[in-house]
Amino acid sequence: MLDRENRLKKHILDLGFAVVGIARAEPADRFDEFEQWLAAGRHGTMQFLADHAIQRRHPEGILPGVRSVVVVGLADSVPRADESRETWPPADGPNSGRVARFAWGRDYHQAIWRRLDSVETWLDAEVPGCRVRTVADTAPLLERGFARRAGLGWIGKNTMLINKHWGSYLMLGAVLTDVDLRPDLSHDTSHCGTCTACLTACPTQAFSAPGELDARKCISYINIEVKGRFSEFERTAVDDWMFGCDICQDVCPWNRKEVSPTPRTDAVALLTQTLGEFRDRFTGTPASRTYRKGLARNAAAVLGNFGTPDALPALRKAVADTDPAVREIAEWAIRQIESRHSGISSTGLSSRAD
């Protein structure tokens, strides 16, 4: 008969998780480096990281009396085409933008939480009266460090957890409990070798050194976490990324099994959608974090970087948007397009005589 730990793991894998491991509830890895990262301001405007920093020192800050941390990983694969049509308007060409794979379907947090509820029920039946707390980006836990301790992989030069089989396309969650579970062997070696593909591929040079990320230069941070107006750097840094960014993962050799193309979406449609259309389309998805105004701002920036004159009518309409950040980027995008296509006048008509 399987022991408790292996029965728990089987239950978790049967729920659809790709990986699971157990770590002791001990002080977090490299917490001093995390504090130094915060002190240098590299977290940008993510003040929640600083506000709850001390709680990340030990999982006791989340669950007093915790003995074990069970870390799980959900594979981040691109959903079916019919699911994508329900969320992001599919498109290609210069008036479209890329969307990070994790955001193409429904909110992965919901998928993890539903499964972890079942794990909590299982543990309560196995050890009546035990204390359990399930988390998925909802509590101050340094998940990747505990995932490494649980044997799920190593921390790559792009700061992502990398698993030999699944690469880095894993969404992490954890179960904290006061049940004393036998831990797995930690993953104490790195398999990045001399590879620096992720560091050199980043177009904004967000990595100051292997394993050191300045979030303020990260495209995912810029088009998701930055609220309000884009700086001159930020509006061009997003390139053609509408939401998130996968570059440092796409180039990683450990993700070679991920062959699906990066999804693209219609920037003009997202710029012109109403609040009601945004809610109908994006409620329950990661994109809801930016609200309509954030996604419209991102769309205007993408069009400013790569759009064609076909996008000018939508951008001119956006100049009257209720949000000042959208108005500002729309005006900038119009100037960018007109500069690239010098034959376009301020009315959108050819300035050349026939």
DSSP, residue by residue, 161-220: EEBTTTBT-EEEEEEEESS-PPPPPP------TT--HHHHH-TT--EEETTEE-GGG-HH
> How distant, in Å, are the alpha carbons of 8, 63, 134, 226 from that of 129?
17, 15, 16, 43
Active site residue 92: no
Q: Model's pTM, two decimal places?
A: 0.91
- Please give the chain's pLDDT, 354 residues, in tens: 789 999 999 999 999 999 999 999 999 999 999 999 999 999 999 999 999 899 999 999 999 999 999 999 998 754 434 344 457 888 989 999 999 988 988 888 888 999 999 999 999 999 999 999 999 988 999 999 999 999 999 999 999 999 999 999 999 999 999 999 999 999 999 999 999 999 999 999 999 999 999 999 999 999 999 999 999 999 999 999 999 999 999 999 999 875 567 889 999 999 999 999 999 999 989 999 999 999 999 999 999 999 999 999 999 999 999 999 999 999 999 999 999 988 655 444 433 333
Four-CA torsion 304, 310, 313, 319, nearest 10 degrees: 0
Which of 137, 239, 250, 354 is flagged as catalytic? 137
- Please state the domain extents for the chain: 4-77+105-177, 197-340
